[in-house]
Structure formats: C-alpha cells, structure tokens
Amino acid sequence: MDETIEFFEWSDEYKIGDDSIDDEHKQLFSVVNRILRNCMDQNYEQNEATCTEAIRFLKDYAVKHFAEEEAFQRSIGYAGYKTHKKVHDDMRDVVIPALEKEVAVKGYSTEALEHFTGTVAGWLAAHILIEDQAITGKTKSKWTSNPDHRSENLLEQIVETYIEGLFRMQASIISKKYAGYRLNKLFCYNNQYASSDGKVYSVVLAAEEPLLKRIATNVVNEELFEEKEIMLPMLTALLKSFISEVMTAFMPGGLTYIGGQTILTADFYNLFSVEYPKYSMLFQTNFGYMAFCIREKQVNDGKL
C-alpha cells in the first residue's frame, strides 16, 4: 500500500486559526490515515502490531493535544471550556479505550479496524469543524446542555441493564457524548413524553441492523427476520417498550407518554444538525452499536 495515500484528507476548512492547534489536528489526521492504510492492506498478521502501535500513538497524542487545547481555552477564557473538556474526557476515557478493546477482542479484523477508524475519523472531523472552531468563534458549539456526571452515569447504567435484561446481551458504553457520526444501517424509533413541570422529552433509540436481527431472533426464528410485515410491528413494540422501561427507571413517576413512531435514518442524523441532544450515548454490543438520545425542551419552545 502506498504510504502516502490519505483516505481522510486534511484541508484548510479544518483550521481553527491557531497554528499550534492546527498542526496537532493535522497530526491526528495522519495517524488515522496510517491505521486506515493498514486496514486496506488486509494484512492480518501485520495488523495487530501496526495497529497496536498506531492506536497507542493516537491515544497518547490525543491526550497531549486535549491538554494543550484545554490550556489554550483557559488562557483565552473560553466560555464553553467545561463542556468541551467533558467531550475530550469522553473521547480519552471512554471512546478510545472501548474501541481499542473492540479491535483486540475481534482479532484486529478489517471490520473492527474500519469501525475504529470510522468512529475516530467521524469524531475528529465533526469535533474540529464545530467544537474546536467554536473556541475561536468561527462556529457555535452544539453541546448546549451540560448534564451532570451523576445523571449521565445513571442513564448509562440503566440502558446497559435493560439491554441485558430485555435484549439478553452484554452492552458497554462507547461514548457519553455521541455527536451523530455515521453508523451502519440503522433502525430508529422515537418516543415522546411530557413532564408535569412543562417539559417534553424526545427519546430516540437507533440500532444497527445486525443488533436488531439479534433482538428479533431472541423472539422468533431467523427466517422470519426477512418478513418485514411481521418484523416491523414486533421490533417497533420491542423498541418502544425498551425506551419506556428506561425512561421510567431514569425519571420515575414523572412522565406522561405522548406518542411514538419509527423515524428515518436521515431524521435521526438530523437530530444532530443544530444542537446535540442533552443525553447522547452510544453503546456497543457483540452484534452492533446502539445510540440512545434524549432531547429536552420546554413545551412552548416549539418544534423538537
């Protein structure tokens, strides 16, 4: 494989306007490219050594970069510093270790490396173009709410418990600050609730198709998965009740169900177009990824 091929291309549109930070971002692009090149080579024997080293470098470099960028934010009194730091913490402490574990468990397979690089590249591009450029005023941050650690941890535990209980599979968190980067083919369901203090909660669950298939085949045999007229109502009912169980445990006694519907994948990604949901989590299972997002609005704020 040509060592100069850049799959994930740097361009000036990624510049935030601080030379030192822009150089560090370029370097991060180049590490992701190195892992991608390796992945395209499909050299499994080499994958483990090259990828372990590249992932370690990426981790170390990201940690160093985040610390330097946070120092820069403090030095200019950036108002979004606390939330930005939480997004960095999530990438450093949750996302990279979880992906690292996934590639090791899956034997550095091309599929696992594609998941790894796709997630890191998607995260990096979205983060630089929106959150990092917001530091220098080129854009506005989309993380407009900053929920406390306690409620985020509680939601994470509840979702994991219910994935295990209702879907009968282990799950672990990939990100507590999922920003809508692309996943594989999705099925998405949305429930809405009202609270007595005048808020509306729009909750979306998005599951990758192999995960969905596994959820379905816990209940029916595999051939029936292709029978959409049978599967659709069944999956809809399962996901709807999953969301209800999670929300009842997360906000006990405080919510009234308004309605639910399947939503298109494009509408799911649109959730991230203006501002990110208050809670936006990504979980991994052995069968695929699942996103769980809660947007909170005052009833009279208009459209969710």
Query: Binding of ligand FEO at residue 69 (CB under 6 A)?
Result: yes
Shortest distance in whole angstroms from residue 289 CB to ligand FEO: 23
Q: Within 18-57, which residues bind ligand FEO (CB under 6 A)?
A: 25
Shortest distance in whole angstroms from residue 58 CB to ligand FEO: 13
Three-class SS of residue 174? strand
Binding track, positions 115-154, relative to ligand FEO; x by CB under 6 A: ------------xx--xx----------------------
Record the tokens describing residue 234, joined without a space: 């069944």
Query: Binding of ligand FEO at residue 90 (CB under 6 A)?
Result: no
Q: Which is nearer to ligand FEO, 9 or 223 (CB)?
A: 9
Q: What is the phi/psi pair of residue 275, to 5°? A: -140, 155
* Residue 96 to residues 46, 103, 116, 119, Cα–Cα distance (Å): 21, 11, 8, 9
Q: Which residue shows structure tokens 């450029």?
A: 133
| Cα–Cα dist 214/219, whole Å | 9
* 177 secondary structure, DSSP code: B
Shortest distance in whole angstroms from residue 177 CB to ligand FEO: 11
Record the tokens describing residue 45, joined without a space: 């024997």
Record the tokens describing residue 118, joined without a space: 């796709």
Q: Which of 120, 82, 117, 116 is nearest to 99 (CA)?
A: 116
Shortest distance in whole angstroms from residue 132 CB to ligand FEO: 4
Shortest distance in whole angstroms from residue 251 CB to ligand FEO: 31
> Interacting stretch for ligand FEO, rule CB under 6 A, among 64-72, 96-104, 196-204, 274-282?
64-72
Contact between residue 179 and residue 132 where contact means Cβ atoms under 8 Å apart: no
Q: Within 190-219, which residues bind ligand FEO (CB under 6 A)?
A: none
Q: Name the amino acid, one letter, at 275.
A: E
Shortest distance in whole angstroms from residue 122 CB to ligand FEO: 14
Closest CB to ligand FEO: residue number: 132
Three-class SS of residue 73? helix
> Interacting stretch for ligand FEO, rule CB under 6 A, among 63-71, 113-121, 171-179, 269-277?
63-71
Binding residues for ligand FEO (CB under 6 A): 25, 65-66, 69, 84, 88, 127-128, 131-132
